[in-house]
Structure 1
Amino acid sequence: MKRQFLYTSLVLLMGCTAVAQNRDAIKFSQSITKDHAYKHLSVLASDEYEGRNTGKKGGWMAADYIKAHFKSIGLKGPVKGDYFQPIDMVNYGTSQILTIEGQPAEPLKDFYIMPSTVSEKGFAFNTGSVLFAGYGLNKEGYNDYEGLNLGGKTVMIFRAGDPSAASAGKNNGGNINNKIKYLSDNKVQAVIVIDPTIDAMPDNLKNYLQSEQMVMKTKENLDRMAGPQGTPVIYVGTTTANQILKASKNTIDALKKKIAETGKPASQDITVALTASAKKTEAKVRAENVLGFLEGSDPKLKNEVLVITAHYDHIGITPDVKGDDKINNGADDDGSGTTGVLMIADAFAKAKKAGKGPKRSILFMTVTGEEKGLLGSEWYSEYPIFPLANTITNLNIDMIGRGDKDHAADNNFVYIIGSDMLSSDLDRIGKKANKDYVKMSLDERYNNRTDPNRFYYRSDHYNFAKHGIPVIFYFNGVHDDYHQPGDEISKIDFPMLAKRAKLVYFTAWELANAAKRPVVDKNEDGTRKN
């Protein structure tokens, strides 16, 4: 009798297991393999693609490769028949001019103006005098501005330093931003900041100042750019500062010495002809999200859309990096996620051709501009091809090809982030898919809004979550090659890349075929909805 009971229990258990797994889901998952992963990633992360920078040749090549794949497997182009969703994006540079007594100074050698401080309108001014105001300090026992009327003046100050004996030789003369705010509040015409680091400008600062600011032309951004110009701030090196002081027969060193010896300010008007201007320059950037659409098979459910995303862009070439390898191939970040999307799309396309397609529609979308600030996914969330109200979930894949130091002993894991932030249903479905099909360790240590790394806010899923759409973010953690040329295909764990992609696939299968979409039962702050 005990033996018969044990046999019956075993049969029932086997039956439950069979029910938990969908044979069709398993059958069409077989194309998600390490070999197919290598096929795609060896192209996307090759040197030929130059790090897939947004708005650059390598990025366009990657977009074309993804489009060709979507087309070849039978996905539809949902953007008026095309696979590209163009993003209205521009590069803003800054044209800067400074002349002293009619002699032009050289940008990035003699002076610079921070591009982010220049509005669309820009600025231009000229003056016949500059007010030298020492260290720009206003504190008990010492005031560089005592008795001075600052309104309408062009004021020149040291970026740092303090003349008091207790601070002699220390670089602690107050925060430069606070100094600038004080002068701005007092309605000065412009601020000139004496910054000795310009005399031997670090490469990273020079590269930043030379780089263009990539901006999407959304209404919010355009309104911000068109806002009023703040107080112009010009940073000058010591040679340029001494040119300005020349008419007063003073030098920086002489004035510093005088202030130090007397303990009193040496503020004074300098008669000098000075002109300055700065304005934005605009250049159109080709950038696009790549979308492939698989229509659902159920007439009642096909208007609901599951969105699966990864970003195909990376950071391109960094010329100042040490060593010969200057191409940031981005094999893991996020060539691995993009590869995952391509394989998952292929699996679902094969299922549809065999008459086993998903009931709901699926949008496979690789986005650009993630490394510039989640730009591509933000553009889609502002200008969606399918209504956000019909979007049931976003499954986002960003780095699934490697691991991190915390899992060095066992790479059979993936971090999941956001799955329970908005929907208990989605959390349950995602974890059940792992238990039924994949059986890897799901690490949730970063699955909170107060994580100091802020991973929940740092990839493309967030531009869906902020609109109340449930999300799961799949991630293998940060490694030593993060945003470095060492993020190469040779370091990819292809079996684990395929296994993690299968987890996303099986989760998508359950979502796309479920009787109901995941219920959003939590608010953005994590509290339960009534």
Structure 2
Amino acid sequence: MKKINTALAALLFSACAYAQNPTAIKYAKLITAQDAKKHLSIIASDAFEGRETGRPGATMAANYIAAEFKKLGLQAPVNGSYFQDVPLIETSYNVKSFSVNGTAYTYKKDFYTGAYTTGTTTDNNFSAKEIVFIGHKIGGDVAAELGATNVTGKAVLLINDGETPQNITRRIALIQSQTPSFIIATATNVAAMLKSPRMAGANVPRMGLKPDKPAAILAPVFYVTPEVANQLLINLGKTVDALKGTADAAQPNQNIKADIAATISTTSTPAKAVDVLGYLPGTDLKNEVLVFSAHYDHIGLTKTGTDKVNNGADDDGSGTTAILEIARAFAKAKKDGHGPRRSILFLGNVGEEKGLLGSEYYTDHPVFPLANTITDLNIDMIGRVGFDYIGKPDSANYVYAIGSGMLSSELHNINEAANKLYTNLVLDYKYDDPNDPNRFYYRSDHYNFAKHGVPIIFYFNGVHADYHQPGDEVSKINFALLAKRAQLVFYTGWELANRDKRPVVDVK
């Protein structure tokens, strides 16, 4: 990412932000803590059951948002509807049997599996009388180690000890692209993984977008303990440790006699979900569109503890509430004759918690051309104080503005100027660091706009102890802070909707 030109920022501020706009201030004042609490107390109530995508609570939330859009007089832009159907498929799978040389092994005790997709409802049987061992030198060239070895339709054995997760992922993806029958991967840490709490969700149903065409069938990956792998190597007369040593020395690929059999049962069912769209047409620049987005879904119910509902008040009831408040301010401005020059789309996304599914579907099937979409201002968690600010003097006066300069230095400067002029929040850019391990830039709905070249800002308060927990309750929301952060988004949007030119994409 290029460094933001601070001189340009100062010039922009002095040129266009030297005086407050009384009209913008008038309508920003409609964004209040009291009104936000009214909306959020409904959206994050127990009655909505955590708003999990594909479940009744998410449908209730979508209906509530659409009803509010209608009250505000926003247009229904999807052929007269506020709903854009998002076709989803929910796939569950279970390993019914797995054996090596006549010894049966137990799922989630001796091995676990990677994601596996067939797109069918059936039992899928896998068997082999030999397995191809792919020798591997740690840090080596993934494509070179496969070389001319033909693995099509064959079983493959990998040893992953000592390699980075990224290289392991690339290695498996490369081998899967060669259409083997199945892959067995082993590493010392598999035993620890099998004892991890993550195993509880190892075979829960997984949700994804229904593909426009049949999805490619990927070979399943069985991650086995070294003890299971040793059973594979009996006919070779070696152990994993012995073979691992030769692998590190770039041992040539070889075929190993072994009798392997497995059965995976898969079930795929459609799931109902919708994005919620409210549209406010502009005036002289109405063909250009500014998007305010937030995801209204959360993670649903839990089976443990006394509190069964993951209410998602902050994640992302707070963002959804902010969208409703900002929409009310712009709708009132238009009613009073101060409508925006550009059109505005208020977008409630579904399926963010399932992998940014709703925003992916919208950006792949946009109601308004992405070429005409000038910016996405995405709001995901703005009602709380995150770990980094707890106990700090500015704990109730900050927001992370992620990605504001990733594509457009001009957009970054517009947001900075609006903040200096109106809200005076601490704008934190910590998570713009490309080496930050959290990778938040890639983890909310704005990213699906950014990957299409649309400039974005992601407004975020950081994670806290109640993140993805039943404790993310309305009672813990700082509504004054939520409203102030939402006002910053409004002011930035006001400038974007009314300025002569759209922000230039100038960062590569």
TM-score greater than 0.5 by the shorter chain: yes
SS, match of residue 69 in structure 2: helix
Aligned positions of 1:103-502 closer than 5 A: 108=107, 114=113, 116-120=115-119, 123-126=124-127, 202=195, 204-219=197-212, 225-227=215-217, 229-230=218-219, 233-234=221-222, 275-278=261-264, 280-296=266-282, 298=283, 300-320=284-304, 323-407=305-389, 408-410=392-394, 411-502=396-487
The code of the aligned residue for 1:334 comes to D
The code of the aligned residue for 2:402 comes to I
C-alpha distance 94-26 of structure 1, shift in aligned 2 (>3 A): same
Residues 49, 301 of structure 2: 8 Å contact kept: yes
**Whole-angstrom CA distance in 2 between matches of 1:309 and 1:87:** 16
Deviations 1:421-467 (CA, angstroms, capped at 9, x unpaired) = 32233223222222222222222233344433322222221221222
Residues 199, 238 of structure 1: 8 Å contact kept: no
Percent of aligned pairs with the same amino acid: 47
Larger radius of gyration: 1
**Whole-angstrom CA distance in 1 between matches of 2:297 and 2:115:** 24
CA deviation after TM superposition for structure 1 residue 47, in Å: 1.9
**Whole-angstrom CA distance in 2 between matches of 1:152 and 1:80:** 47
User: Is residue 41 of structure 1 aligned with residue 25 of structure 2?
Assistant: no
**Whole-angstrom CA distance in 1 between matches of 2:456 and 2:371:** 14
Residues 290, 343 of structure 2: 8 Å contact kept: yes
Residues 94, 115 of structure 1: 8 Å contact kept: no
- List gaps (5 residues or longer) in structure 1: 1-15, 140-149, 161-170, 260-266, 526-530
**Whole-angstrom CA distance in 2 between matches of 1:239 and 1:51:** 41
Residues 86, 275 of structure 2: 8 Å contact kept: yes
Aligned positions of 1:58-69 closer than 5 A: 58-69=57-68
Residues matched between the structures, number: 462
C-alpha distance 241-394 of structure 1, shift in aligned 2 (>3 A): closer
- List gaps (5 residues or longer) in structure 2: 1-14, 138-149, 243-254
Residues 53, 297 of structure 2: 8 Å contact kept: yes
CA deviation after TM superposition for structure 1 residue 187, in Å: 11
CA deviation after TM superposition for structure 1 residue 500, in Å: 0.8
C-alpha distance 283-154 of structure 1, shift in aligned 2 (>3 A): same
The code of the aligned residue for 1:305 comes to V
**Whole-angstrom CA distance in 1 between matches of 2:34 and 2:368:** 33
CA deviation after TM superposition for structure 1 residue 113, in Å: 6.1
Aligned to 1:90: 89
**Whole-angstrom CA distance in 2 between matches of 1:82 and 1:285:** 20
The code of the aligned residue for 1:482 comes to Y
Residues 292, 345 of structure 2: 8 Å contact kept: yes
**Whole-angstrom CA distance in 1 between matches of 2:172 and 2:448:** 35
**Whole-angstrom CA distance in 1 between matches of 2:28 and 2:440:** 29
**Whole-angstrom CA distance in 1 between matches of 2:163 and 2:367:** 53
The code of the aligned residue for 1:337 comes to G
C-alpha distance 420-118 of structure 1, shift in aligned 2 (>3 A): closer
CA deviation after TM superposition for structure 1 residue 100, in Å: 7.0
The code of the aligned residue for 1:462 comes to Y
Residues 193, 199 of structure 2: 8 Å contact kept: no
Deviations 1:50-82 (CA, angstroms, capped at 9, x unpaired) = 221111222222111111111111111101111
C-alpha distance 109-457 of structure 1, shift in aligned 2 (>3 A): closer
**Whole-angstrom CA distance in 2 between matches of 1:414 and 1:155:** 50
Deviations 1:171-215 (CA, angstroms, capped at 9, x unpaired) = 999999799999999999666689998999647344323212211
Residue range with higher mean Cα deviation, 171-180 or 418-427: 171-180
The code of the aligned residue for 1:389 comes to A
Residues 111, 225 of structure 2: 8 Å contact kept: no
The code of the aligned residue for 2:370 comes to L
Aligned to 1:5: none
Residues 398, 459 of structure 1: 8 Å contact kept: yes
C-alpha distance 302-403 of structure 1, shift in aligned 2 (>3 A): same
The code of the aligned residue for 2:354 comes to K
**Whole-angstrom CA distance in 2 between matches of 1:328 and 1:61:** 15
Residue range with higher mean Cα deviation, 425-434 or 191-200: 191-200
SS, match of residue 303 in structure 1: strand
Residues 423, 521 of structure 1: 8 Å contact kept: yes
User: Is residue 505 of structure 1 aligned with residue 482 of structure 2?
Assistant: no
CA deviation after TM superposition for structure 1 residue 492, in Å: 0.9
CA deviation after TM superposition for structure 1 residue 512, in Å: 1.3
Residues 96, 265 of structure 2: 8 Å contact kept: no
**Whole-angstrom CA distance in 2 between matches of 1:34 and 1:174:** 47
